[in-house]
Amino acid sequence: MEIKIIGTTHLMSKEEIIKIIKEEKPDIIGVELCQTRLNLMVMNPITNQLATGQLESAGLIQKISQTIKEKAEKENLQYGSDMINASKYAIENNIQLELLDRDIMEIQTLMEKIPKEELNYFMQELTKFQEQNLSDSKNIDENKVINELNLKAPISSEILLNSRELYITNKILKLILKYPKKRILIFLGKGHLNSIKKELDLK
């Protein structure tokens, strides 16, 4: 068994993703998606959009995703390009695709119950985010961001990071046990990388 985990910014280009896959020649590709997100982002991307005027009434997760998506488009980038293109490549080239993340609807339901002060924190961060340049995301200190989230929004951190990382780690462990002789290539957001590698005892 050989496993490699690639940490991404969710803005990696299609060319970068395909280059990695061709170099690694995996038997299995794992992505930080659930079936709901695969359907919306890969199979039916036209439905993965909020109509004009819907953003105000949308849930927090939808607001965050839509805000990042719209900002990425303005900068000629594709938000989620890493997971979208890794999934497409796997499907088009008959490579086994494994969905590793918790269902987005479960996450969204949990996030709707966070305390008001945590909701306010996210809305303030979204306002700051709109003033930044996405191309600078490569220079973000993920540990600093995670520490701040743990401090200022501990309940959200448990939902968005800890519980998901445990879920993803368990899914990867099951793949390792089920396919001991196969090459496994995993794409995860950089913020999850160190924690999950530590749990899996990978360097």
Is the pLDDT at 86 greater than 80, yes or no? yes
Mean per-residue pLDDT, 63-82:
85
Whole-angstrom distance, CA of residue 17 vs CA of residue 23: 10
Quote the pLDDT of residue 29: 98
**Residue from 15, 5, 73, 17 nearest 45 by CA:** 73
pLDDT at 72 over 80: yes
Domain housing 116: 2-200
pTM (2 d.p.): 0.88
Better pLDDT: 131 or 81: 81
Q: How many domains does the chain have?
A: 1
pLDDT in tens, 157-169: 999 999 999 999 9
CA atoms in the 13 A half-sphere facing the CB of 82: 19
What pLDDT was estimated at residue 48?
Answer: 54
Q: Which of 42-56, 61-75, 114-128 has the highest mean pLDDT?
A: 114-128
Q: Residue 83's pLDDT is what?
A: 95
Task: Report helix, strand and coil shares of the chain as percent, to nearest 5.
Answer: 65, 10, 25
* Residue 55 pLDDT: 38
pLDDT-based confidence at 49, cuts 50/70/90?
A: low
Token readout for 4 is: 């490699």
Nearest CA to 82 out of 37, 49, 144, 127 is that of: 37
15 or 67, higher pLDDT? 15
Contact call for residues 103 and 34 (beta carbons, < 8 A): yes
More confident residue, 4 or 60: 4
Confidence tier at 5 by pLDDT (50, 70, 90):
very high
pLDDT of residue 178 exceeding 90, the answer is yes
Phi–psi pair at 144, nearest 5 degrees:
-65, -45
- Complete DSSP assignment for 156-167: HHIIIIIHHHHH
**pLDDT for 62 beyond 60:** yes
